[in-house]
C-alpha cells in the first residue's frame, strides 16, 4: 500500500472518531442551553419559593437542578462569598467576579473569619468561567489540596439570583460549593 494511501486512510479514521466525539460534546452542551432558554419568560417570584426549598435540602439541590430548570438568568459580576468549615480554613472567602474578554474571572479578594472580621487577600485568580448562559456554565477552578494547586474542570449551576453552586469532580475527589452574592 502506498504511503499516501496509508496517511489518507489513517487521517480519515482519526477525524471520524475524534470529530464524532467533539461534535457530540458540542451538541450536548448546546441542547441543554436551548432547553433552559425556553423556560426563560416565566415569573421571577416563583424562583424565590424554589430557592427556599432548595436551601433547606442543599445536598439534594444539585441533583434536582436538572429536573427543575431555573426560571431566571443572572449576571455573575460582583462580589460573592463562600463559607468554608474545614481544617485549613473556617470562615468566608470573598471573591470578585469580573468579565474579562469572553470569560468571567474570579479573584480572591478577602478572608473573613467566623466573626466577620476581614483581612485582604492577594487577589489571585481562582476561577475562570469559560461558558455561561445565564443559568449554567463551565469553567476551570483552582483547587488547593495538600499544598499543591490543581486546575480542575468545574460546573456552575444557578440556584437563584443570589446563589449559585460550583461543583467539580477531579478523578473522584469532588465537592460542591455554594456561592452567595454579597
Partner 1 sequence: MIEFLSKELNWIDVEYWFHVLNDLSLLYIIVPFFVLEMIRYAVQKRLTKDLIFDSVANVITFGAFFVIEIILGILAVTKIYFWVYENFSLPHLPLNWITIIACVLLADFAYYWEHRMMHRIGIGWATHTVHHSSEHFNMSVAYRFGPLDAVMPIVFSLPIVMLGFDPILVLLSEVFVQVFQTLLHTEIIGKLTKPVEFIFNTPSHHRVHHGSNRQYWDKNYAGILIIWDRMLGTFEPEVEKVKYGISEPLRSNNPIKVFFHGLSRLFRKINRTQGVKNKFLVLIKPPDWEAKA
Residue ranges binding partner 1 (CB under 8 A): 1, 6, 9-10, 13-14, 17-18, 20-22, 24-26, 28-29, 151, 153, 169-172, 174
Nearer to partner 1, 117 or 171 (CB): 171
Nearer to partner 1, 1 or 117 (CB): 1
- Which residues share a beta bridge with 93? 82, 111
CB of 153 to partner 1, least distance (A): 6
Q: How far apart are CA 137 and CA 144, in angstroms?
A: 21
CB of 148 to partner 1, least distance (A): 11
The three-class DSSP label of residue 34 is helix
CB of 49 to partner 1, least distance (A): 28
Q: How far apart are CA 130 and CA 170, in angstroms?
A: 18
CB of 30 to partner 1, least distance (A): 12
Q: How far apart are CA 116 and CA 126, in angstroms?
A: 22
Nearer to partner 1, 121 or 140 (CB): 140
Nearer to partner 1, 61 or 93 (CB): 61
> In angstroms, what CA-CA distances link 149 with 144, 152, 179?
4, 9, 20
- Residue 59: CB partners within 8 Å, gap ≥ 6? none
Amino acid at each position: 500500500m502506498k504511503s499516501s494511501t496509508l496517511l489518507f486512510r489513517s487521517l480519515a479514521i482519526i477525524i471520524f472518531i475524534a470529530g464524532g466525539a467533539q461534535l457530540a460534546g458540542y451538541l450536548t452542551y448546546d441542547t441543554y442551553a436551548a432547553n433552559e432558554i425556553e423556560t426563560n419568560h416565566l415569573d421571577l417570584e416563583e424562583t424565590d419559593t424554589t430557592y427556599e426549598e432548595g436551601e433547606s435540602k442543599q445536598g439534594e439541590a444539585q441533583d434536582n437542578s436538572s429536573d427543575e430548570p431555573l426560571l431566571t438568568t443572572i449576571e455573575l459580576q460582583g462580589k460573592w462569598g463562600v463559607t468554608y468549615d474545614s481544617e485549613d480554613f473556617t470562615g468566608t472567602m470573598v471573591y470578585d467576579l469580573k468579565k474579562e474578554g469572553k470569560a468571567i474571572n474570579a479573584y480572591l479578594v478577602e478572608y473573613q473569619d467566623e466573626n466577620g472580621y476581614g483581612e485582604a487577600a492577594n487577589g489571585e485568580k481562582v476561577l475562570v468561567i469559560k461558558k455561561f448562559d445565564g443559568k449554567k456554565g463551565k469553567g476551570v477552578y483552582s483547587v488547593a489540596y495538600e499544598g499543591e494547586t490543581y486546575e480542575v474542570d468545574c460546573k456552575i449551576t444557578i440556584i437563584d439570583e443570589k446563589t449559585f453552586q460550583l461543583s467539580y469532580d477531579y478523578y473522584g475527589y469532588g465537592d460542591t460549593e455554594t456561592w452567595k452574592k454579597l
